[in-house]
Structure 1
Amino acid sequence: MSKRSERKEEHLALAQMFFNKQKENSFDQMHLLRPTLPESKVDQASIRTSFLGKEVSAPFFIEAMTGGSEKSKKINRQLGSVAAKENIALALGSASILVKENEQLSSFTVAREQDPDGLLFANVNPLTPASDAAKIVQELQADALQIHLNVVQEAAMPEGERDFCWLNNMLEIRQAVTVPIIIKEVGFGFDQASLKKLKDAGFDLFDIGGMGGTNFAQIENSRNQYNLSYLSSLGLPTVITSLIAEKMQLDFFVSGGVRNPLDVLKGLALGGKLVGIANTFLQQLMQHDTEGLIEEIQEWKKELAILLAVFGKNDVNSLSSLKRYYDLPLKNQIDQII
């Protein structure tokens, strides 16, 4: 097994080791005002939505996780099967490994084989050569390409990148690919200045990836001979970085610490087009296999439809009109940052 593939499998094991479904995050300090008399009824069709011309059964998706090793090939096969059966979108983990190790291609294409018609996102790092990024999109038959920005992770990673001058190459990738580009954070959130820089450069779709879920600084620190645990606190909570994107009137996905259907509802209320879930679904898959994850997703759909009715709404696009309020610690942060 190559060093890159070995790292992929280490990440999976460490994500499982650090997983805590009850971990508190900024969603706990955000509240939605519920109408006592909603005058509504539960309708499973209320949570259906569409993106890039494809209709999906729910406004949440399986967020980018893995690819590039034998273990991740099995996981991506399972995730592709789940996405197909439940008609939800699927984002694959970083495929940049294919630039050096094309023999790992099947660990990514296996998802598309399982879900030939579904909504699928490829994923690369920002320094991936543009021609390789275009080839990856074509080989994976992806509907969109995520370019992930993971500065804090790279800083904590023993073999991490030390060149963070990424924008010019990202622009080259955009010129080379023919599908929409999604600029994605990996769990530390976007600040307003960076979003403005990206918007001014012509990027118009974002996956805000805020703090609150899997912490890749923590994961990489456990692989590092030096103690870089202080990097784990660098970043913006998911609610705050979502509010920044909403204020800038951007199109964005909400991800980072989504644990249950109420978190999904809050992400949609913040203005997210879709809401991404990674480790919560991954651990369900690891513990209960494909059928266990299918059952959980089906339950989330039922509960989300119930929540829409509880809040007096009959479609996901109307959720951004819900009145929100915040606990004082989060409100103080919002007032200082936004």
Structure 2
Amino acid sequence: MSRAKRKLDHIQYALNDKPSGMTGFDDVQIVHQSLPDSSVEEVSLHSEVGGLNLSSPFFINAMTGGGGEKTLEINASLARAAKETGIAVSVGSQMSAIKDKQERRTYSIVRKENPDGVIFGNIGSEATLSQALEAVEMIEADALQIHLNVIQELAMPEGDRSFNGALERISHIANELSIPVIVKETGFGISREAAAKLNDTAVTAIDAGGYGGTNFSSIENSRQQRKKLFFDHWGIPTAASIVETVSVTEKTVLASGGIQSSIDILKSLILGASAAGIAGKFLRILTEDGESALIKEIEYVNEDLVMMMTALGCRNVSSLHRAPVVISGDLYHWLHSRGLHPEQFSRRS
């Protein structure tokens, strides 16, 4: 199967695959503040990722590219929505265009449609420095995501089977690039062990990319006869992965993986993330209801975040990191078992 055909299959499978909802956010209960001493006019949604100023603490996360005209149309719409609302946007893996120059336009359209916006490039951890530089040049990227997708590759019939040297390649790229480098998981979660290794490199940010959203093992299993079903329920829930990552790194932490709503974003920020990436939810809105509906949804999320931050007395994103929440259920059990002291979140102010 061609890489372009596989990209198109991924889109269709992602649209048909319903998120499990097992992100862990349902186990996070926000402690209400009856005297917030705040107003909506005082709230700022600005966030910072490696020197990049984001107008909102969420962005359109990596989805597609490299699948011909269909993916070009999707990326063009995502770019226009990002431009209209002022949020950042990431392209999907650019390895397709690096290997097939005809696919470059399915990515470069994002910069063409959004010339002044914050745009993240995207490559895999197998990429070389020269490939990373090519990805950056292709879209004039403001930052570069390097994705980790071990489980997807192992579940994929034609996927990689060797992952040796990934950390060294990531470190080399982060040392050489002049723009921020973001390392992200693709739906199976960053553990504190992995975050600690990345903390010793020059990467700028770590995207937890937890379990609970688009399941790439399930997608790949849909494409083959002998299914590796043991990977379908493999991974660290997004909420747990955020805490695991925050516990050991000084880097900026980003959140993604099954984030469906403004309350999910808010909980991600409270748990320690500086911004959250949304992919599947935005893709469904775009394909089912159109570009205008996506723009309206992004505007609604911004409004929701301002309201909730006002209710908590939090005037900026960093102050959310001190907002108290009570953690219960499976998330409490996970964090307690991993020695991450879930009770600490209920006692801060």
On whether the aligned pair clears a TM of 0.5, the verdict is yes
Instruction: Specify the code of the residue in structure 1 equivalent to 2:187.
Output: G
Q: Is the Cα–Cα contact under 8 Å of residues 209 and 257 in structure 2 kept in the other structure?
A: yes
RMSD in angstroms over aligned alpha carbons? 1.6
After superposition, where does 1:111-260 map in structure 2 within 5 Å?
A: 111-165=110-164, 166-250=166-250, 251-260=252-261
Q: Is the Cα–Cα contact under 8 Å of residues 156 and 224 in structure 1 kept in the other structure?
A: no
| Length-normalised TM-score, structure 1 | 0.95
CA distance in 1 between partners of 2:176 and 2:125 (Å): 13
- What is the count of residue pairs matched by the alignment? 336
Q: Is the Cα–Cα contact under 8 Å of residues 7 and 65 in structure 2 kept in the other structure?
A: yes
Unaligned runs of 5+ in 2: 341-349
Q: Is the Cα–Cα contact under 8 Å of residues 23 and 210 in structure 2 kept in the other structure?
A: no
Q: Mean Cα displacement is larger for which, 193-202 or 153-162?
A: 193-202
Residues 265-316 of structure 1: CA distance to partner in whole angstroms, max 9, x if unpaired? Answer: 1111111111111100110001111101001111111111101111121212
Alignment pair present for 1:106 and 2:124: no
Q: Is the Cα–Cα contact under 8 Å of residues 98 and 134 in structure 2 kept in the other structure?
A: no
Give 2:56's match in structure 1, choosing from 58, 70, 73. Answer: 58
What is the CA distance between 1:176 and its match in structure 2? 4.2
CA distance in 1 between partners of 2:98 and 2:261 (Å): 36
Q: What is the aligned-residue identity percentage? A: 35
What is the CA distance between 1:39 and its match in structure 2? 2.5
| Length-normalised TM-score, structure 2 | 0.92
CA distance in 2 between partners of 1:172 and 1:312 (Å): 42
Q: Is the Cα–Cα contact under 8 Å of residues 61 and 276 in structure 1 kept in the other structure?
A: yes
CA distance in 2 between partners of 1:236 and 1:317 (Å): 25
Q: Is the Cα–Cα contact under 8 Å of residues 156 and 228 in structure 1 kept in the other structure?
A: yes
Q: Is the Cα–Cα contact under 8 Å of residues 134 and 176 in structure 1 kept in the other structure?
A: no
Q: Is the Cα–Cα contact under 8 Å of residues 174 and 201 in structure 2 kept in the other structure?
A: no
CA distance in 2 between partners of 1:44 and 1:288 (Å): 33
Kindly report structure 1 stretches of 4+ aligned residues shifted beyond 6 Å. Answer: none
Corresponding residue for residue 36 of structure 2? 38
- SS of corresponding position for 1:148: strand
After superposition, where does 1:313-328 map in structure 2 within 5 Å?
A: 313-328=314-329
Residues 230-268 of structure 1: CA distance to partner in whole angstroms, max 9, x if unpaired? Answer: 201111111111111221243110111111101111111
What is the CA distance between 1:336 and its match in structure 2? 1.0
Q: Is the Cα–Cα contact under 8 Å of residues 49 and 58 in structure 1 kept in the other structure?
A: yes
Cα pair distance change 1:234/1:205, threshold 3 Å: same
Corresponding residue for residue 46 of structure 2? 48
CA distance in 2 between partners of 1:285 and 1:61 (Å): 15
What is the CA distance between 1:175 and its match in structure 2? 4.2
What is the CA distance between 1:177 and its match in structure 2? 2.6
Instruction: Specify the code of the residue in structure 2 equivalent to 1:323.
Output: P
CA distance in 2 between partners of 1:241 and 1:24 (Å): 12
What is the CA distance between 1:98 and its match in structure 2? 2.0
- SS of corresponding position for 2:44: helix
Instruction: Specify the code of the residue in structure 2 equivalent to 1:194.
Output: A
Cα pair distance change 1:283/1:139, threshold 3 Å: same
Q: Is the Cα–Cα contact under 8 Å of residues 67 and 92 in structure 1 kept in the other structure?
A: yes
Instruction: Specify the code of the residue in structure 1 equivalent to 2:209.
Output: G
CA distance in 1 between partners of 2:37 and 2:94 (Å): 47
CA distance in 2 between partners of 1:296 and 1:200 (Å): 38
- SS of corresponding position for 1:121: strand
Corresponding residue for residue 10 of structure 2? 11
CA distance in 1 between partners of 2:126 and 2:82 (Å): 29
Instruction: Specify the code of the residue in structure 2 equivalent to 1:184.
Output: K
Cα pair distance change 1:266/1:135, threshold 3 Å: same
Corresponding residue for residue 294 of structure 1? 295
What is the CA distance between 1:24 and its match in structure 2? 4.6
CA distance in 1 between partners of 2:317 and 2:180 (Å): 22
CA distance in 2 between partners of 1:49 and 1:200 (Å): 24
CA distance in 2 between partners of 1:175 and 1:98 (Å): 24
Cα pair distance change 1:193/1:50, threshold 3 Å: closer
Unaligned runs of 5+ in 1: none
What is the CA distance between 1:97 and its match in structure 2? 1.2
